[in-house]
């Protein structure tokens, strides 16, 4: 994107979404120049490129515990964008050190949708304790408790939802969870704008959950 290369970086829905992806599945190289984004969804890589207006080649690599999963990777160099990302709070090797990010309220839910598509999850189940009781949750994940605390505080400030924070089963990742009532409020804001970037796989799953709840 030419404006980025001139240093004329302005917040937009697309840029905020890309920042959410970088905050979860992206990485700033220690060389002070390169930005890397990894995803198991090729669609996500293509959307990321579109949001930033880059045309760099997409490569594939093997990863995961077994080394058998395919991941897609795009890497590009942009010193101006790199320094701008540092300025809003991202850092190299950010997984456990990421905290507050300087995201304008106007674009927070575009950022959060990218965050959710990068490393969030949603799940549902029928609770056997009550007849016809359908439960579902929306979850945001991070290895940094400070980052999760910032997400929770910002969401509470903007849309008055509380959620709760816990560890995952392996006690490696922190999770910010919203149960059904608050999930509906969060989801409504995540997808309030039409024709904004999103990972269709997760969006369709959420729509299916909401349809089941009805």
Neighbours of 193 (CB within 10 A): 13
Q: Give the total residue count for the chain.
A: 214
**What are the structure tokens assigned to 39, written together?**
């995803």
SS3 of residue 36 by DSSP: strand
Q: Classify burial at 169, counting beta carbons within 10 Å of its beta carbon; exposed 0-12, middle 13-18, buried 19 or more.
A: exposed
Superfamily of domain 2-95: Homing endonucleases (3.10.28.10)
CATH architecture of the domain 114-213 equals Roll (3.10)
Tens-digit pLDDT string for the chain (214 aa): 444 444 579 999 999 999 999 999 999 999 999 999 999 999 999 999 999 999 999 999 876 544 557 899 999 999 999 999 999 999 998 888 999 999 999 999 999 999 999 999 999 998 877 767 899 999 999 999 999 999 999 999 999 999 999 988 777 899 999 999 999 999 999 999 889 999 999 999 999 999 998 7
Bridge partners, residue 58, by sequence: 74
Angle 161-18-84 (CA atoms, 0-180°, nearest 5)?
Answer: 105
SS3 of residue 78 by DSSP: coil
Task: Give ranges for CATH 3.10.28.10 in the chain.
Answer: 2-95, 114-213
In 29-144, where does DSSP find H-type helix? 42-52, 79-87, 108-119
For 128, what's the count of Cα atoms within 13 Å in the CB-facing half-sphere? 0
């Amino acid at each position: 994107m030419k404006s980025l290369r001139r240093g004329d970086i302005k917040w937009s829905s697309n840029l905020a979404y890309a920042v959410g992806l970088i905050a979860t599945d992206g990485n700033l190289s220690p060389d002070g120049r390169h930005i890397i984004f990894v995803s198991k969804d090729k669609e996500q890589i293509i959307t990321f490129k579109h949001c930033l207006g880059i045309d760099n080649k997409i490569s594939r690599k093997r990863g995961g515990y077994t080394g058998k999963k395919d991941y897609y990777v795009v890497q590009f160099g942009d010193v101006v964008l790199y320094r701008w990302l540092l300025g809003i709070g991202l850092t190299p090797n950010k997984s456990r050190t990421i905290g507050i990010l300087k995201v304008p309220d106007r674009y927070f839910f575009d950022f959060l949708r990218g965050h959710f598509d990068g490393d969030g999850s949603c799940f549902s189940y029928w609770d056997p304790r009550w007849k016809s009781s359908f439960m579902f949750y929306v979850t945001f994940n991070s290895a940094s408790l400070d980052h999760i605390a910032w997400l929770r505080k910002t969401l509470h400030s903007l849309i008055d939802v509380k959620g709760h924070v816990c560890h995952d089963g392996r006690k490696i990742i922190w999770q910010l969870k919203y149960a059904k009532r608050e999930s509906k409020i969060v989801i409504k804001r995540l997808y309030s704008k039409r024709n904004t970037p999103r990972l269709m796989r997760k969006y369709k799953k959420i729509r299916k959950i909401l349809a089941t709840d009805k």
